[in-house]
Amino acid sequence: MIGYGQCPRCGTWTYEHLESHSHCWECSFVPEDLRNKPRSEFERERRLERSRLKEELMFRSLVFVRGLM
Ligand SMILES: [Zn+2]
């Protein structure tokens, strides 16, 4: 499942569910089982998700700007 939910730790709705893992943008909460993963692997996945998010946001703003012209 991919989307946002309520963080079990801080209670904000910035708890993101991704294909590979879930984490909270607000307090960096990560489910316990993922903490056992090698850190480098986790950081790599996080970077991938971030760049994907950035690309999607750029694409959306491009579509929005085109819609205005
Ligand atoms: Zn949180």
Q: How many helices (H) and strands (E) does the chain have?
A: 2, 3
Q: How far is the CA of 58 from the centre of ligand 1 (A)?
A: 26
Residues 6+ apart with CB under 8 A from 8: 15, 29
Range of the domain at 20: 3-68
63: left (phi over 0), alpha (psi -120 to 50) or beta: alpha
Q: How far is the CA of 65 from the centre of ligand 1 (A)?
A: 33
Model confidence, pTM: 0.43
Q: Encode the chain (69 residues) as per-residue pLDDT tens digits.
A: 578 999 999 999 999 988 888 899 999 998 876 556 667 777 788 888 888 888 888 888 888 777 776
Instruction: Identify whether the C-beta of residue 4 lies closer than 8 Å to the C-beta of residue 17.
Output: yes
Q: How far is the CA of 26 from the centre of ligand 1 (A)?
A: 5
Into how many domains does the chain fold? 1
Per-residue confidence (pLDDT) for residue 1, from 0 to 100: 57
Per-residue confidence (pLDDT) for residue 10, from 0 to 100: 95
Q: How far is the CA of 6 from the centre of ligand 1 (A)?
A: 8
Q: How far is the CA of 30 from the centre of ligand 1 (A)?
A: 9
